[in-house]
Amino acid sequence: MGTTDVINPATGSVFTTVPSLDLAATDAAIDRARKAFPAWRDLAPGDRARLLRRFAAVVEENLEDLALLEVRNAGHTIGNARWEAGNVRDVLNYYAGAPERLAGRQIPVPGGLDVTFHEPLGVVGIIVPWNFPMPIAGWGFAPALAAGNTVVLKPAELTPLTAIRLGELALEAGLPEDVFQVLPGKGSVVGQRFVTHPAVRKVCFTGSTEVGKSIMAGCADQVKRVTLELGGKSANIVFADADLEAAAAAAPGAVFDNAGQDCCARSRLLVEASVYDRFLALLEPAVKKFRVLDPSDDKSEMGPLISSGQRSSVSGFLEGADVAFQGASPDADGWWFPPTVLLARSTTDRHWREEIFGPVVSVLPFRDEAEAVRLANDTEYGLSGSLWTRDVGRALRVSRAVESGALSVNSNSSVRYWTPFGGMKQSGLGRELGPDALLSFTDVKNVFISMGA
Q: How confident is the model at residue 310 (pLDDT cuts 50, 70, 90)?
A: very high
| Residue 145 parent element (H or E) | helix 133-146
Q: How confident is the prediction for the chain on average, in pLDDT? A: 97
Point out which residues pair with 181 in neighbouring strands: 152
Query: Average of pLDDT values for 348-357?
Result: 98
Average pLDDT over residues 297-325: 97
User: Can 204 be counted among the known catalytic residues?
Assistant: no
Q: 186-232: per-residue pLDDT in tens?
A: 999 999 999 999 999 999 999 999 999 999 999 999 999 999 999 99
Residue 452: per-residue pLDDT: 86
Active-site hit among 84, 157, 229, 355: 229
**Confidence band, pLDDT 50/70/90 cuts, at residue 300:** very high
d(CA 453, CA 185): 60
pLDDT 10s digits, 338-348: 999 999 999 99
Instruction: Indicate the pLDDT class of residue 1, thresholds 50, 70 and 90.
Output: confident
Phi/psi-derived region of residue 414, left when phi > 0, alpha when psi is between -120 and 50, beta in every other case: alpha
Q: Is 177 a catalytic residue?
A: no
Contact 184, 3 (CB under 8 A): no
Confidence class for position 256, pLDDT limits 50, 70, 90: very high
Q: Give the mean pLDDT of 402-411.
A: 98
Among 204, 219, 263, 264, which one carries the catalytic annotation? 263
Query: Which DSSP category does 17 fall into?
Result: E
| In the predicted structure, residue 89 carries a pLDDT above the cut 80 | yes
- pLDDT tier for residue 117 given thresholds of 50, 70 and 90: very high
- CA–CA separation, 326 vs 314, rounded Å? 14
pLDDT in tens, 103-114: 999 999 999 999
Question: What integer is the mean pLDDT of 254-275?
Answer: 98
- Tell me the percentage of the chain whose pLDDT exceeds 70: 100
Give the pLDDT of residue 280: 98
Burial 53-82 (b: 16+ CB within 10 A, else e): bbbbebbbebbeebbebbbbbbbbbbbbbb
Query: Minimal CA–CA distance to 138: which of 226, 204, 54, 76?
Result: 204
Strand, helix or coil at 326?
Answer: strand
Confidence band (pLDDT; 50, 70, 90) for 53?
A: very high
* Res. 453: pLDDT tops 80: no
Residues 6 or more apart in contact with residue 225 via CB below 8 angstroms: 121, 201, 202, 203, 219, 440
- The fraction of the chain above a pLDDT of 90, given in percent, is 99
Segment holding 218, helix H or strand E: helix 209-220
Phi, psi of 93 (to 5 degrees): -65, -40
